[in-house]
Amino acid sequence: MEKVDLVKQFESELKKNVAEMKKIRPFNRLQQLLDEYGYFEGARILINREETSGLRELFLAGKQDISIESLALSEKFKSLFTEDELKKCSEKLPNLTKK
């Protein structure tokens, strides 16, 4: 599959996940970032930032599976991200259980 098609699929999945996230709270800053940079580039920006309160809220709600980090780490989409980005995703998710 071509990278362009895979990016479109990632963005489509992320849009569905964001709709699910909004059932927990509005996630206005997340939506603003995704609207400004696009869903794929916005996801990469967030992955490269420090852990966000939104990720923690998803974990507390038992919904870490719809996080950007989980989506990036999925077998289907991990080829879109650098090793460093995937490492950051892996580190963020288990760190939530330590706090």
Instruction: Please tell me the distance from the alpha carbon of residue 30 to that of residue 12, in angstroms, as a whole number.
Output: 16
**CB count in 10 Å sphere of residue 45:** 15
pLDDT of 46 over the 80 cut: yes
Region 28-48: what's the mean pLDDT? 96
Q: Are 85 and 47 in contact (CB under 8 A)?
A: yes
pLDDT at position 32: 96
Residue 3 host element (H or E):
helix 3-21
